């Protein structure tokens, strides 16, 4: 039987019988006991079409759903496209897909899609997944479970390969990764263009933070690296397990150099080489030998030119002899015991040695005069 109304036609295939239940106002096609307003039973039918809507011209066949005389939703053939949606007369209506009588997917009036989220606030919002791990599939999985795949949960992105954690590549084809909305810098592979200045305690975390804020962490901004420990300054370790550190051009350094600096270095605090404790009052402490081709020591004033001053009191040789016999060292020169205990102040020792050299010069001049007198007397 073919029932055609105006521009669209409805074809009912009735292989056995057609019954209208007037009392119940239900229509049964292929059944004598319709369970709804229209009940179609295809049992024994020669076709699998329960309802066929056909249109032989350019109009778009539509099934419209209304409630209280207000159009709520529709199904439509629009050219080659199939449309399912709500009307603008139903501005708060959602499109909902269900399985097992449970709502699974929502499309909001604004066009946002929610999976297990009735009121999505973004173009795609997914909730209710599992934690991303080598065996858990997160909220989204891209790829095949038994091959390479990527899983995402609410705060993780994990690359896997057949159940084993794999490598996550960003910009593998040569493109760059940029975080922030600053100007694009050509030639960089990773660019972070927004953040704040690093500082203490943990209020300022720079452009990048590695670690836990309440524990040890390292923060970076556009020109600083800072290590912190629970809000206080921490320790920065470079090549803690071995290896070398080069600053500047490493061309002139080799694997035996633990630290190489190409250029000038300024150190305002104390420096320890081979020492764990810097003696108080000193800027450089070296436990071991040191070698140099030139050493300049800037002394305090009072270089011993005063020895040649007429007011300088030069000890007599007899007095010097008595002092040596008693103390086993020259007057004004520290003893071996003092040197062993306190070391040698290079600048001060140079001054004392020059004083003795100048005194020795005066003794030689005096001795020369005595010799000349003896020669003249003979």
Each of the 378 residues of the chain gets a pLDDT tens digit; together they read 333 333 333 444 344 344 444 554 899 999 999 999 999 999 988 888 888 888 877 788 999 999 999 999 999 999 889 999 999 999 999 999 999 999 999 999 999 999 999 999 999 899 888 888 888 888 899 899 999 999 998 888 999 999 899 998 888 887 878 777 777 777 777 777 777 777 777 767 777 888 887 788 888 887 888 888 888 888 888 888 888 888 888 888 888 888 888 888 898 888 888 888 877 888 888 899 999 999 888 866 788 999 999 999 999 999 999 999 999 999 999 999 999 998 888 888 999 999 999 999 999 999 999 999 999 987
**Secondary structure letter of residue 132 according to DSSP:** B
Query: In terms of pTM, does the model score above 0.85?
Result: no
Helices (H), strands (E): how many in the chain? 3, 27
Buried b / exposed e along 208-240 (16+ C-beta atoms within 10 A): ebeeeeeeebbbbbeeeebbbeeeeebeeeeee
CB contact set of 135 (below 8 Å; sequence gap of 6+): 163
**Paired sense of beta strands 38-40 and 140-143, if any:** unpaired
């Amino acid at each position: 039987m073919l029932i055609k109304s105006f521009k669209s036609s409805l074809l009912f295939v009735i292989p056995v019988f057609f019954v209208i239940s007037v009392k119940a106002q239900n229509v049964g096609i292929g059944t004598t006991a319709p369970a709804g307003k229209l009940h179609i039973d295809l049992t024994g039918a020669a076709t699998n079409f329960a309802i066929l809507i056909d249109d032989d011209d350019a109009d778009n066949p539509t099934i419209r759903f209304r409630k209280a005389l207000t159009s709520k939703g529709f199904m439509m053939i629009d050219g080659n496209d199939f449309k399912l949606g709500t009307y603008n007369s139903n501005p708060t209506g959602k499109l909902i897909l269900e399985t097992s009588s449970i709502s699974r997917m929502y499309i909001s009036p604004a066009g946002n899609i929610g999976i297990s989220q009735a009121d999505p606030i973004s173009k795609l919002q997914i909730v209710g997944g599992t934690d991303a791990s080598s065996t858990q599939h997160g909220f989204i999985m891209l790829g095949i479970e038994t091959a390479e795949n990527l899983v995402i949960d609410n705060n993780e992105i994990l690359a896997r390969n057949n159940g084993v954690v794999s490598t996550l590549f960003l910009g593998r084809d040569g493109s760059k990764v940029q975080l922030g909305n600053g100007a694009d810098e050509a030639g960089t592979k990773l660019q972070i263009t927004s953040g704040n200045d690093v500082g203490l305690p943990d209020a300022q975390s720079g452009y990048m933070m590695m670690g836990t804020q309440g524990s040890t962490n390292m923060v970076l901004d556009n020109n600083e690296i800072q290590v912190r420990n629970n809000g206080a300054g921490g320790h920065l370790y470079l090549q803690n397990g071995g290896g070398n550190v080069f600053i500047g051009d490493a061309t002139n350094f080799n694997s035996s150099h633990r630290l190489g600096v190409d250029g000038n270095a300024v150190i305002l605090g104390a420096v320890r080489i081979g020492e764990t404790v810097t003696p108080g009052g000193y800027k450089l402490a070296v436990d071991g030998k040191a070698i140099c081709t030139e050493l300049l020591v800037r002394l305090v004033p009072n270089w011993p030119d005063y020895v040649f001053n007429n007011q300088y009191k030069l000890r007599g040789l007899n007095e010097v002899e008595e002092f040596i016999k008693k103390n086993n060292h020259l007057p004004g020169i520290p003893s071996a015991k003092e040197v062993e205990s306190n070391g040698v102040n290079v600048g001060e020792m140079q001054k004392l040695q020059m004083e003795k050299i100048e005194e020795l010069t005066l003794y030689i001049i005096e001795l020369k005069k005595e010799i000349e007198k003896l020669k003249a007397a003979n």
